[in-house]
């Protein structure tokens, strides 16, 4: 019997949705959504870089019919997101700028965006940072900085959103597979992402009386600008990804749109993995086919 290994074709698991080419289906028509972290970090590659999770979520939410407030710390980056939404000819969007280190800016942001939207039905918190420091290099300052952005800001944003959000609304916190796997030697990031999963459950409890849902989304290894930064520091990070490829920002965005939509009306206080099965042990075991 021939047990020679077969090859993996990464394109077997890629579809129009994976690449952001599928048309909208009206899944968020009439919904008013704030996406915090809707910009995209610059990368050395320049032109042709893959879409980040936040930009993909904002663009897809608009394509699905939502009125979207796109928020980021970078005015240039968030304006690019809004311009791409306008160029696509689908959906409405505007840009706002805030630094989530600041509680005062968070309070003002949520009030002003909700006012411009005419209400609030959905909130996506995609903002996050990583200093990439192993345990022996952590400092109180670096730890506090990551937790201020990755966890404290999420609490403050949810706290501000709950009184403003319409009944039946939805909140999505962008956590990470790192919340469940502590293998990247990045304790502050891993711990803050695990905290987001717990916070999502707490927010779900707080929002229950208004039927406001809150869930955490846990991407695995995704080919985004942030993912490419991580790969530069750890070149073998994606050596065993399922299907012979990393995920795309669009694949994360579709999972987020599901959680925002009424399709997920009874999905609450959960942690949804978007990792190809990597977190439970699905891994590449055969070589890639030639491309």
100, 176, 189, 257: the catalytic one is 189
Please tell me the distance from the alpha carbon of residue 64 to that of residue 90, in angstroms, as a whole number.
8
Torsion of CA 71, 77, 82, 87, to 10 degrees: -170
Neighbours of 25 (CB within 10 A): 12
Please tell me the distance from the alpha carbon of residue 268 to that of residue 207, in angstroms, as a whole number.
10
How many angstroms separate the first and last alpha carbons of the chain? 28
In sequence order, the 6+-apart residues with CB closer than 8 A to the CB of 202 are none
Catalytic site residue 254?
Answer: no
Active-site residue numbers?
189
């Amino acid at each position: 019997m021939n047990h020679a290994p077969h090859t993996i074709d990464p394109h077997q698991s890629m579809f129009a949705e994976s690449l952001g080419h599928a048309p909208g289906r009206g899944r968020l028509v009439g919904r008013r959504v704030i996406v915090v972290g809707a910009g995209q970090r610059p990368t050395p590659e320049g032109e042709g870089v893959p879409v980040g999770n936040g930009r993909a979520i904002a663009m897809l939410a608009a394509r699905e019919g939502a009125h979207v407030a796109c928020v980021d710390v970078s005015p240039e980056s968030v304006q690019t997101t809004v311009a791409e939404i306008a160029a696509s000819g689908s959906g409405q969007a505007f840009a706002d700028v805030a630094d989530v280190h600041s509680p005062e800016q968070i309070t003002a942001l949520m009030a002003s965006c909700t006012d411009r939207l005419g209400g609030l039905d959905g909130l996506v918190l995609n903002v996050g940072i990583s200093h990439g420091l192993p345990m022996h290099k952590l400092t109180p300052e670096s730890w506090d900085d990551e937790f201020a952005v990755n966890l404290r800001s999420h609490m403050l944003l949810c706290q501000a959103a709950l009184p403003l959000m319409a009944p039946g609304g939805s909140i999505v916190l962008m956590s990470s597979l790192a919340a469940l796997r502590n293998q990247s030697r990045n304790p502050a990031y891993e711990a803050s992402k695990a905290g987001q999963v717990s916070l999502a459950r707490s927010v779900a409890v707080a929002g229950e009386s208004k039927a406001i849902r809150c869930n955490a989304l846990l991407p695995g290894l995704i080919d985004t600008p942030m993912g490419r930064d991580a790969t530069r520091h750890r070149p073998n990070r994606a050596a065993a990804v399922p299907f012979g490829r990393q995920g795309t920002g669009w694949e994360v965005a579709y999972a987020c749109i599901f959680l925002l939509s009424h399709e997920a009306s009874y999905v609450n206080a959960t942690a949804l993995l978007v990792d190809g099965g990597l977190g439970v042990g699905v891994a590449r075991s055969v070589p890639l086919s030639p491309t």
